Amino acid sequence: GAVVSQHPSRVICKSGTSVKIECRSLDFQATTMFWYRQFPKQSLMLMATSNEGSKATYEQGVEKDKFLINHASLTLSTLTVTSAHPEDSSFYICSARGIIGTGKNTGELFFGEGSRLTVL
């Protein structure tokens, strides 16, 4: 199956610094990528949808200037948490949906391993 790699898996940073999380589709073209945030024992909360070559679409309540998303190529999307604060500490997960094999979009999402962000 398709593989999505997310890096780093864990990051600890000081308050006020910026952190970048990368999401790569390793064996397929990811025309659309999604970024989620997950609190303990809760469901995934969609933060934004990014389409290759265009601006990301943010969900209501998500600060665009706080969470910068770039999807410059068909295999890479990045999430940058700017001026991070302790309340930004969370588990962030990326997922990708794209065209695979014969060109069929199965609707399935392929998830990265997730990134645990801790802001001190």
The 1-40 contact track toward other proteins, x by CB under 8 A, reads x--------------------------------x---x--
For position 89 contacting other proteins by CB under 8 A, the verdict is: no
Stretch that binds other proteins, among 22-30, 41-49, 61-69, 81-89 (CB under 8 A): 41-49
CA distance 15 to 13: 7
Q: Mention every residue, 6+ apart, whose C-beta is less than 8 A from residue 8.
A: 21, 115
Write phi, then psi, for 68 (nearest 5 degrees).
Answer: -90, 125
Q: Which amino acid is at 86?
A: P
Sole binder of other proteins in the list 11, 13, 46, 99 (CB under 8 A): 46
Instruction: Pick the closer one to other proteins by CB: 14 or 43.
Output: 43
Rounded Cα–Cα distance for residues 33 and 41 (Å)? 23
Return the structure tokens found at 89. 């500490």
Q: Would you tell me which residues interact with other proteins (CB under 8 A)?
A: 1, 34, 38, 41-44, 46, 49, 91, 93, 95, 106-109, 111, 113-114
